[in-house]
Amino acid sequence: MTQSIQPLTQPASLDLKKLNQRFEKVHPKEILAWCIANVPTSLVQTSAFNVDDLLITDLFYRDLKPVQPVPVLFLDTLHHFPQTLELVASARGIYNLNLKVYRIQGVTTRKDFAAQYGDALWDKDITQFHELTKIEPLQRGLAELGAIAWLTGRRRDQATTRSDMPIFELDQQQRLKVNPLANWTRKETWAYVFEHDVIYNPLHDQGYPSIGDEPLTTSITEGEDERAGRWRGTGKTECGIHF
């Protein structure tokens, strides 16, 4: 008889050190399988539809096929590249995603955003811009979706600021934050994508390994960190979602 697993309700009760040691060298699929088994109804994938995010989505929908599809939380900042929004629509159709879109409240277009907060708020106050377009919508989304655990597409080799990132950690609200690709490399990620024909943003082929808001994302040059094109010249290395 298979022993049933008691669903996780208090992430703070986990021994994160042991959990990280246990999963440090395993395939991301095993990490996701643990999440499905232990957080079957309160797991959320956050996705900016970068290639790493789509790899996780593909593992769920191709291989793991959870009984209850994992919600995919997408932050519509109103400032994405058109290619990103086209990709979201394509992925939604291919995977029949349980897509949950969150954005700033009371504003539905980039034009409306500029009318309310001024042109190029990111140049005047990038912290406020990120609070309005990313941080508040994310926290609202996780709360409304009842998330006990949430998934990111972060890898340690994306930037020096992420080199010590654990697979399992707690966020500021004591939710379990899981980085299933933490121990993977860019090479491994793309090998999976090509092997399984995972769709991805065409901007990745144009020198944009990490894609965020259109006004705040540039291509990179050889030798730079993957995320060097994000918020270039602002001194920021994260938008505030990940500390």
CA angle 105/134/151 to nearest 5° reads: 120
- The mean predicted confidence, pLDDT, of the chain is 90
Task: Give the model's pLDDT for residue 158.
Answer: 78
Asked if the structure places residue 87 within a domain, the reply is: yes
Asked if the structure places residue 210 within a domain, the reply is: no
Task: Give the model's pLDDT for residue 242.
Answer: 44
User: What is the C-alpha to C-alpha distance for residues 200 and 22, in angstroms, rounded to an integer?
Assistant: 31
When pLDDT is averaged across residues 125-133 and rounded to a whole number, the result is 93
The tens digit of pLDDT for each residue in 54-75 reads 999 999 998 999 999 999 999 9
The tens digit of pLDDT for each residue in 183-205 reads 999 999 999 999 999 999 999 99
Asked if the structure places residue 170 within a domain, the reply is: yes
Catalytic status, residue 239: yes
pLDDT band at 114 (very low <50, low <70, confident <90, very high): very high
Helix (H) or strand (E) holding 37: helix 28-38
Task: Give the model's pLDDT for residue 174.
Answer: 94
Q: With a cut of 90, say whether residue 240 has pLDDT above it.
A: no
Provide CB contacts within 8 A for 87, sequence distance 6+: 49, 199, 200, 201
**Which of helix, strand or coil describes residue 7?**
coil
When pLDDT is averaged across residues 98-126 and rounded to a whole number, the result is 94
Q: With a cut of 90, say whether residue 232 has pLDDT above it.
A: no
When pLDDT is averaged across residues 100-128 and rounded to a whole number, the result is 94
Catalytic residue among 31, 88, 216, 239: 239
Asked if the structure places residue 222 within a domain, the reply is: no
Q: Residue type at 197?
A: D
Asked if the structure places residue 235 within a domain, the reply is: no
Q: With a cut of 80, say whether residue 238 has pLDDT above it.
A: no
Asked if the structure places residue 140 within a domain, the reply is: yes
Residue 32: CATH number of its domain:
3.40.50.620
Task: Give the model's pLDDT for residue 3.
Answer: 45
Q: What percent of the chain has pLDDT over 70?
A: 91
Asked if the structure places residue 35 within a domain, the reply is: yes
Q: Is 27 exposed, middle or buried (0-12, 13-18, 19+ CB in 10 A)?
A: middle
- Domain range for residue 59? 11-202
Asked if the structure places residue 109 within a domain, the reply is: yes
* The model's pTM: 0.90
Would you give the end-to-end CA distance of the chain in angstroms? 43
Listed residue (31, 51, 50, 62) closest to 176, CA to CA: 31
The tens digit of pLDDT for each residue in 219-229 reads 888 777 776 66
Total of domains in the chain? 1
